[in-house]
């Protein structure tokens, strides 16, 4: 059997402060809440065609062995493909929202080499905004 992967469906990030993380992803990145399952400690945010699932530490479906929120160790990074990619405007927006910036560089992604910008969410998770591939 050959498995054909089309794209990332979702990424789950364990959160020490679920409400602050929902606010960050909604306000800074414009990810609307898709589904709330508070009884599970889970809020699912729409990120284009994918989802970012925010899971409260200690929630019913939480698995403590998945990492420690607040240390940036629960996920290496989440990469979100964005277009248009205006690095200066993106940096400005992030700084205006009090976001700690990381490196900006040319990186390889699902569509090839292109621009990318790293930054950190409120709990130390590394997020990458990836622009269109080079022509």
pLDDT in tens, 82-135: 989 999 999 999 999 999 999 999 998 888 899 999 999 998 888 999 999 998
Q: Which residue has the tokens 């589904």?
A: 35
Q: For the chain, first and last CA: distance in Å?
A: 34
Domain ranges for the chain, please list them. 10-130
> Which pLDDT does position 19 carry in this prediction?
97
For residue 4, CA distances in Å to 53, 81, 113 come to: 23, 20, 22
**CA pair distance 58, 23, nearest whole angstrom:** 20
> Which pLDDT does position 100 carry in this prediction?
95
**CA pair distance 111, 96, nearest whole angstrom:** 30
The answer, yes or no, to whether residue 59 has pLDDT greater than 60, is yes
Domain 10-130 is found in CATH 3.50.50.60: no
> Which pLDDT does position 1 carry in this prediction?
76
Residue 72 half-sphere exposure toward CB, CA atoms < 13 A: 11
Q: How many residues does the chain have?
A: 135
> Which pLDDT does position 14 carry in this prediction?
87
Instruction: Write down the H helix ranges in the chain.
Output: 18-27, 87-96
């Amino acid at each position: 059997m050959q498995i054909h992967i089309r794209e990332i469906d979702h990424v789950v990030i364990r959160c020490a402060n679920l409400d602050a993380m929902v606010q960050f992803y909604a306000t800074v990145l414009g990810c609307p809440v898709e589904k709330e399952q508070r009884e599970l400690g889970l809020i699912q945010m729409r990120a284009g065609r994918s989802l970012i699932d925010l899971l409260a530490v200690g929630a019913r479906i939480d698995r403590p062995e998945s990492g420690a929120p607040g240390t940036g160790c629960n996920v290496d990074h989440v990469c979100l493909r964005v277009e248009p990619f205006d690095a200066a405007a993106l940096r400005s927006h992030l700084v205006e929202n009090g976001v700690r910036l990381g490196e900006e560089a040319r990186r390889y992604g699902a569509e090839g080499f292109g621009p990318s910008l790293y930054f950190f969410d409120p709990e130390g998770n590394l997020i990458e905004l990836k622009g269109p591939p080079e022509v």
